[in-house]
Amino acid sequence: MDRTLESLRHIIAQVLPHRDPALVFKDLNVVSMLQEFWESKQQQRAAFPSEGMVVYESLPAPGPPFVSYVTLPGGSCFGNFQCCLSRAEARRDAAKVALINSLFNELPSRRITKEFIMESVQEAVASTSGTLDDADDPSTSVGAYHYMLESNMGKTMLEFQELMTIFQLLHWNGSLKALRETKCSRQEVISYYSQYSLDEKMRSHMALDWIMKEREAPGIVSQELRTALRQLEEARKAGQELRFYKEKKEILSLALTQICSDPDTSSPSDDQLSLTALCSYH
């Protein structure tokens, strides 16, 4: 732990030379520090030159507790994990979580190396009850994950987040299974999507998939959206990276908006009543 803290102080001294490392996380102006951190990174090594800067989003609410999200260059997303009584407090708390993760991301242990890949693949095998042989088979989830890591050798985990989120969404959306039925390997799919960013066009395509699923199984969108909202809240309160959960919510909300505007999408049912309630909530 002492070595990690010393490494963080060294990183702060390099990236934020005008700040006292001992006071960084106590400074109320953490919002400007996060902005300064990423501006410094872009100047030093042109990190994410095509991306915008730090972007904040506050959820509309009539009163506390307030929720704020911050999206970093490269796509990683974090939120406030404390119960905040003002929007400004929620914004500062989200910035603090993002700054801590940004600093940890600079540690050597967060860079994708051969050793990192080996450890990550072993963890993936253990979590899926698979075998190490799966790592050499790109048609398996572990093999596809292995291929993605090797294709991003040298990057940090935050730089890798965009592609990882796309892969997670494709897996969740069922698109990977559909593409495999067209004889496209996961490796080919990953190589294809590596060329694109997760934008409104991709979200719209995935939302259309869920509208089709709603026609086959009325109520499925409302069920998935409830799950996504719960997962997003739990991950935010735990201080975790939120991009995957937030994108799920956005895609399902987009599908829900279209379904609510088209009453004939599915037949009335108990699930449809729940869906109507979610439409009002949305």
Q: Would residue 133 count as lying in a domain?
A: yes
| Domain co-membership, 102 together with 6 | yes
Q: Do the domain assignments include residue 67?
A: yes
User: H-helix or E-strand containing 69?
Assistant: strand 68-71
Query: Are residues 122 and 83 part of one domain?
Result: no
**60 and 99 share a domain?**
yes
Same domain, 2 and 93: yes
Taking the complete model, does pTM exceed 0.85, yes or no?
A: no
Lowest mean pLDDT among 111-125, 188-202, 205-219: 188-202
Mean pLDDT of the chain: 79
- What pLDDT shows up at residue 260? 84
268 or 151: whose pLDDT is higher?
151
Counting every residue, how long is the chain? Answer: 282
**C-beta of residue 50 within 8 angstroms of C-beta of residue 85:** no
Name the burial class of residue 206, with classes exposed (0-12), middle (13-18) and buried (19+) by CB atoms within 10 angstroms of its CB: buried
Tens digits of per-residue pLDDT, 134-192? 788 777 778 878 888 888 888 888 878 888 888 888 878 876 665 555 556 666 766 77
Per residue in 21-69, pLDDT tens? 555 555 557 888 899 888 887 776 655 554 558 999 999 999 999 999 9
State which residues form the domain around 154.
109-197
Q: Is the pLDDT of residue 198 over 50?
A: yes
- HSE (side-chain half, CA atoms, 13 Å) at 55: 11
Of the candidates 182, 197, 212, which is a domain's last residue?
Answer: 197
Q: Which position has the higher pLDDT, 5 or 70? A: 70
Domain boundary residue among 56, 87, 106?
106
Strands of the sheet containing 77-79, edge to edge, are: 55-58, 68-71, 77-79
Sign of the Cα torsion 118, 121, 126, 129 reads: negative
**Adjacent-strand bridge partners of 79:** 69
- Regarding whether 150 and 128 lie in a shared domain, the answer is yes
